Amino acid sequence: MSKVSIIVPVYNEKKTLETILERVSAASTLDYEKEIIIVDDFSTDGSRELLIELKKKYTFRLEFHERNFGKGRALRTGFAVATGDIVLIQDADLEYDPANWVDLLVEFKKPQTQVVYGSRNIHPKRRGYSHCILGVKILTTAINWLYGAKLTDSYTCYKCFRKVCLDGLRLESDGFEIEAELTTKFLKKGYFIKEVAINYNPRKFAEGKKIGWRDGLNGLWVILRNRFNLIEKIFGNVLQ
C-alpha cells in the first residue's frame, strides 16, 4: 500500500492544535496509508507541552526544534523524516480544510502526475487581507512570467507531491520563502504543477496569522535568485 506523509509545521498554535489534529486524523487519504509528522518550531505558548499530551490520544511523529527557525526549516525537517511515497503539507491553523485532501490525492492516480497544488484562487468563496491577496498575485505573476508557468496560487499551503520530486532540490529556505523555493525548483526540474480548487478560511493577524511584507520580499528574492542563479553570478569568481 502506498503512503502519504502529512507534514504539519507548528509555531505557537496551541488554540487550534487539538482541532486540527482531530481533523487531520479523521480526514480521508483515499487508499493511501497515512503518516502524520508534526514539527514544532520552538513554540513558546504551550504548544509543545500540548503536543506531548495529544500523543496519548492521536498517532503522529513529533519533531522538536531547539530554537525558532521558521516554516521553511520546519518543513525541511519533516521532509527529511517522511517515509511516504507522497508528501502533503498541512498548516496547523484552521485556514485549510483537510477534507480537500481527496481532491489533491485523487490526481496521483494518474501516473504522470508529480505535483499538485490546492489553489485558493480557483472559484474563491472567501478572501483574506487585500495586501496578502495582492502580494500572492505579484509573486505568482513573477513565477509565471519567469518560469513559463500558469499558476493561480504559488503561496498556497496545500502543496502535494511525490517524494521523489525532492531528490536533488537542495532546499535552503528557513522562512515563508520556502513557498517560492519549492515552486520555482519544481518548475526548473520540469515538473508540471496541477492546481485544484480548495476551500479557504482566512484568519486575522489577531488570531495568529504570521506572514508579512518582509516574507514577500524574501520570496521575490528567491524567485529571482533561482531563475537567474544570482548567487553563482555574483560570487562565482570569489568561490572558485
**For 180-190, how does the pLDDT look when each residue is reduced to its tens digit (9 = 90+)?**
999 999 999 99
What is the end-to-end Cα distance of the chain in Å, rounded? 47
For residues 72-93, average pLDDT? 97
Residue 157 confidence (pLDDT)? 96
In our burial notation (b when 16+ CB lie closer than 10 A, e otherwise), range 35-64 reads: bbbbbbbbbeeebbebbeebeeeeebbbbe
CA–CA separation, 183 and 63 (whole Å) = 25
Higher pLDDT, 127 or 44: 44
CA–CA separation, 150 and 139 (whole Å) = 12
For residues 45-53, average pLDDT? 97
- Which of 90, 94, 83, 122 is CA-nearest to residue 105? 90
Interstrand relation of 3-10 and 86-89 (parallel, antiparallel or unpaired): parallel
CA–CA separation, 170 and 150 (whole Å) = 24
Mean of all residue pLDDT scores within the chain: 90
Q: Which CATH architecture has domain 3-239?
A: Alpha-Beta Complex (3.90)
